[in-house]
Amino acid sequence: MADGCELVVGADGQIGRALLARLAADGRPAVGTSRRPGGAGRPLDLAADPASWELPGRVSVAYLCAAVTSVEACRRDPAGTAAVNVTRTLDLADRLRGRGAHLVFLSTNQVFDGAVPFRREDEPPRPRTEYGRQKAAVERELLAAGGATVVRLTKVVPADWPLVRGWAEVLARGEPVEAFRDMVLAPVPLDFVTRVLARVGEARPGGVFHVSGAADLTYADLARRVAARVGAAAGLVRETSFADKGLPPEAAPAHTALDAARLRDVLGLTAPAFPATLDPPAGRAA
């Protein structure tokens, strides 16, 4: 292919793996990278010497899925995680741009402080966490250089989300579960996220897109929904606070849902109002 292949950086992660599978199913020439020795795909560890990176000669689209995504890890080691999430990511972006790639950068709702719901794509970032600051720094550089699309994500959940599956199994036995009353999420299905990313790779529109669930709900509300689906009593959901688990306040923003108008208006895509993939099958545990 004269235009080069599509490259999924971080194809051993949840999103990268699913995206690579979607591109392959669509018949699009795509390769992935892996930071694990002997892993599938080309070796590329952002924490390693860039001389060890193996990049294709020509790349049409590069999806930058690899990062240290733990908010706690970024808080505890800001310098070490920034070396991966910012310095090496921008180094890789420069190299890929030189190979002809349009860059698709996976970012997060945490570039905002969560004080106000439904932040728009054109609003300036106001990060509260170190992870959010690192993502915002990369966004800024990529957008200034051009040839990049930033995709900000809220909570991405697979069809068989272990949290929901575990709750369903416990609740179906008539046993209680704990869930946060003061931590929210705006869940969006993994399958929809990969659909968006593949569409962005086709259109290469540039700028910022939000991929978000339609509204926030608390983890306790989510657990009660699971209880209803498996026929368990709502009272089996024991509400707890994030503070009881020793989590810092920045780990629980008041709002996570984003305004996704540009996704609808430019790409014609709208996330489900509530991801049906979160619900276990009716009448039994997932």
Question: Is 4's pLDDT higher than 90?
Answer: no
- Write out the two tokens for 280: 């276990």
Mean pLDDT over 147-172 rounds to 95
pLDDT band at 281 (very low <50, low <70, confident <90, very high): very low
As a whole number, mean pLDDT of residues 151-180 equals 95
> What six digits make up the tokens of 128?
């509260």
153 pLDDT tier (thresholds 50, 70, 90)? very high
Sheet strands (E) in the chain: 5-9, 30-34, 42-43, 59-64, 102-108, 148-153, 156-157, 177-180, 184-185, 188-189, 207-211, 217-218, 237-240
Backbone CA torsion sign across 67, 70, 74, 80: negative
Domain boundaries, the chain: 5-157+187-214+255-267, 162-183+216-253+274-278
pLDDT attached to residue 199: 98
Domain with residues 5-157+187-214+255-267, CATH architecture? 3-Layer(aba) Sandwich (3.40)
From the candidate CATH numbers 1.10.15, 3.90.25, 3.30.1490, 1.10.3470, the one assigned to the domain spanning 162-183+216-253+274-278: 3.90.25
Mean pLDDT computed over 115-124 = 96
Closest to 264 (Cα-Cα) out of 192, 201, 216: 192
**AA letter at 128:** R
Residue 52: strand, helix, or coil: helix
Task: List the beta strands (DSSP E) in 22-181.
Answer: 30-34, 42-43, 59-64, 102-108, 148-153, 156-157, 177-180
